[in-house]
A and B are shown apart, each in its own frame.
Chain A
């Protein structure tokens, strides 16, 4: 069955999907190396902010490609596919944790979550009130889908 409305990537874009995946892989790897190096320098024997550094590299890479008009649909697809798989991967991560052992720490989980959430809500009210003396940022735009 072929849906006539279905849109396929043009061949040029299809070839660049791997470039997007490679860019993402390179950023993740460089971030991991930088994080490990930073950990060694700081003497913590651990990866320090590797994922954060990788994210900054990817944002910089995206801006660089955009400014040169090189950010093709294929490159976007190569990166965004993995961004869209982030929740399923987190589900898989949750499914392989030692939850049976964590249940022993039960009350801790509930207390930390409730206290943290309550305090953060209070802060939203406080900061929001302090900010309301200034004019708001303006009109609300049309609804957009946001996926985690």
Chain B
């Protein structure tokens, strides 16, 4: 009887893959937020912990199944492939643009724009150079890893647009996630030294660091009143990265590599 119930449950969970994925990711988010509050006193953002849990799950599923799609290779979690697939991902990222207030954004002015531009180009150069030194010769892989150094969203969006392989996309996500975690942890420690104590510097900080979870997590641990200012420029960062990395930056890289 229990065996029968188990097989019925398995069949239902597999047949309703997207719902299983929602329930599953919801549990991961709850656990990650609890871990963030109780283990790190909110210093590391719950979203960063959830993403690390996701990457860890993909690692274990990959070693167990030998497949290329992480937990989506487990039949019961195939719905994760749909939830985290290109269609819903682009849909959700576009939706975040709704929170941008253009009037407020203008206050960031030239400095905010300069910070955004440097915050997009500089990580790309670091990531691309390191990938080249590490022995990557495929421009698509180099651009994807460079884009991952911008944020963990720009990396996979660029990789998907250029047609990078899944392991390169995973490297770019891992780079972006590690950067976000570093920003969250290090910001409160260095805030005094980089003058991070007013709205203007918070906007510069948001534009340069980009990673919204890193910026909001780091600023919340420094001075909660600075959070909206950092988030304001940071929300432009991923959009700018998604626009520039697969186009201007990738084409510049191609031009440099063929010189």
Give A contacts to B, CB under 8 Å: 24-25, 27-28, 31-32, 35, 38-39, 42, 44-56, 58-59, 62-63, 76, 79-83, 85-105, 107-117, 119-125, 127-129, 131-132, 136-138, 140-144, 146, 148
Contacts and interface: CB of A to CB of B under 8 A. Distances in A.
A120 B83 CA distance: 32
Contacts of B131: 108, 112
B62 A108 contact: no
B231 interface: yes
A117 B166 CA distance: 24
Contacts of A104: 167
Q: Main secondary structure on chain B at its contact with chain A? A: helix
Interface of B: 21-22, 25-26, 28-29, 45, 47, 50-51, 53-59, 61-63, 68-72, 77, 80-81, 83-85, 88-100, 102, 107, 111, 114-115, 118-119, 122-123, 126-127, 130-131, 134, 145, 148-149, 152-153, 156-157, 160-163, 165-171, 173-179, 182-183, 186, 190, 193-196, 198-201, 204-205, 208-209, 212-213, 216, 224-228, 231, 239-240, 242-244, 246-247, 250-251
Contacts of A24: 91, 94-95, 98
Q: Main secondary structure on chain A at its contact with chain B? A: helix
Contacts of B171: 102, 105, 108-109
B81 A96 contact: yes
